[in-house]
Amino acid sequence: MRVAIHQPQFMPWLGYLDKIDRADLFVLLETVQFKKNEWQNRNRIRTAQGWQWLTVPVLHDFGQRLNEVRINSSVNWQAKHARTLEMHYGRAPYAPQFLPQLLRLYEQPWDRLVDLTVACLKWLLDAFDIRTPLRMASGMQVRDEPTDRLIDICRAVGATRYLVGAGAHGYLDTARFEAAGIQIEQQEFKHPVYAQCYDPFLPGMAAIDLLLTSGREGVHYLRQARCELTPAQPAD
């Protein structure tokens, strides 16, 4: 069985969805430290000016785990996001089908960041008809050291293959995975090109950009662009 493991991200990009789509199981690693100003509470959407962030304001302390981070409810971020999405995607071909569903997610009274990100991810996967099951790392008994943690997760779910991103060979100790009977496979992601709401095409947007412009069938653009999996190279 092939497993992929990653921290939850808000409105993830297509490379994240590609990894989930390739895996037999996707484990959400929500027990690690929250990193401010990365992808855990924000992502980018396409606009007439290029792109802009959709950011969820959070309340957090340094060193706090991701699943402990709470959303700053004193900021009316839901209304701001809704206005931005309607402004830039209101005329997208598949906005009538999917944008109201997304806006209903925003209407819920979210408290923890992880609950929002997982709900958005599940909605995206359902919209694209990606059926890979999800599990939370917090339900597993694992060690704290980063490599030990990943090996323990693989063992806990019965994985024989671990799917990693393109940069993982720089920090993973592949020999330790091999000793544990787990093969490392590297995701070679190739970004698809599709019709966005604005020209020219910009890669790296949140996956809702593909959904709202291409609909459920947009997942085929992702799969058609896909490169083969290759064994990860050992670090120097």
Residue pLDDT, tens place only, 130-140:
999 999 999 99
pLDDT at 235 over 70: no
DSSP letter (8 states) at residue 128: T
**Whole-model pTM?**
0.94
Q: Which tokens go with 101?
A: 């569903």
Domain ranges of the chain: 2-231
Q: Is the dihedral of CA 19, 126, 9, 133 positive or negative?
A: negative
Compute φ and ψ for 30, nearest 5 degrees.
-95, 10
Q: Which string of b and e fits 30-63 if b means at least 16 CB within 10 Å?
A: bbeebeeeebbbbbbbbbeeebeebbbebebeee
Residue pLDDT, tens place only, 176-226:
999 999 999 999 899 999 999 999 999 999 999 999 999 999 999 999 998
Question: Cα(89)–Cα(197) distance, rounded to whole angstroms?
Answer: 7
Task: Decide: 190 and 15 in contact? Cβ < 8 Å.
Answer: no
pLDDT band for 227, please (50, 70, 90 cuts).
confident
Owner of token pair 């996001």: 81
State the amino acid at position 58 in one-letter form.
Answer: V
Residue pLDDT, tens place only, 68-97:
999 999 999 999 999 999 999 999 999 999
**Which pLDDT does position 170 carry in this prediction?**
66
